[in-house]
Amino acid sequence: MKLLEERILEDGRVINNEILKVDSFINHQIDVKLLNQVCEELASKFKGIDRVITIETSGIAFAVGIAQCLGNVDVVFAKKSKSLILDDSNVYKEEVKSFTRKTSSQIYIDKRYLHENEKCLIVDDFLAEGNAAIGLISICEQAKAKVEGVAIIVEKKFQGGGQRIIDKGIHLESAAVIEGFKDNKVVFVK
């Protein structure tokens, strides 16, 4: 999506060979006008979705935006820490390695908020190695829900997560796809 690519070139900051910071419009301050346009564009690629699934925290705003465009379907976000009132029998859970922290931890979704045969769309802000998205796919599989697709705001293609999702036969759409970083600049896939 040209608008998002232009904004990344203007305001994104390449931190090292791995990380792009987009705090001024996606991850800390959110440009809601841009968010609405990105969400409309991504939502237009999917039909018949019952529920949008994401992971706290940065995916939530985009998941809600896309869910509104899909007819105000419900959103459920996986939690990174388990609430005291939940025991293991009440949750679907999966171990996920954090790309930014390089450590693994459990993510959880309460069984009441994800159901068999529901058509789910997984949404996240970034796709790097694909661990977060694949963890969410695994949780949907545990619930016997159907993963209809994965919608990503910024995919870093060179980190391989996109290919892992495509290899599972899952429909992947990304609003901006980064080929790599060159001299601290973002290079997009043509």
User: How many residues interact with ligand 5GP (rule CB under 6 A)?
Assistant: 19
Q: Pick the closer one to ligand 5GP by CB: 44 or 100.
A: 100
Q: Of 124, 155, 125, 118, give the one whose Cα is nearest residue 140.
A: 118
Q: Name beta bridge partners: 132.
A: none
Q: Is 161 in the site for ligand 5GP (CB under 6 A)?
A: yes
**Binding test (CB under 6 A) with ligand 5GP, winner from 1, 11, 27, 45:** 27
Q: Pick the closer one to ligand 5GP by CB: 51 or 156.
A: 156
- Minimal distance in Å, beta carbon 190 to ligand 5GP? 20
- Site map for ligand 5GP, 30-69, x if CB under 6 A? -------------------------x--x-----------
Q: Pick the closer one to ligand 5GP by CB: 115 or 141.
A: 141
- Minimal distance in Å, beta carbon 116 to ligand 5GP? 26
Tokens standing for 82?
């388990």
> For 17, phi and psi rounded to 5 degrees?
-75, -5
Cβ atoms of residues 11 and 24 within 8 Å: yes
Chain residues in the site for ligand 5GP (CB under 6 A): 19-21, 27, 55, 58, 99-100, 124-133, 161
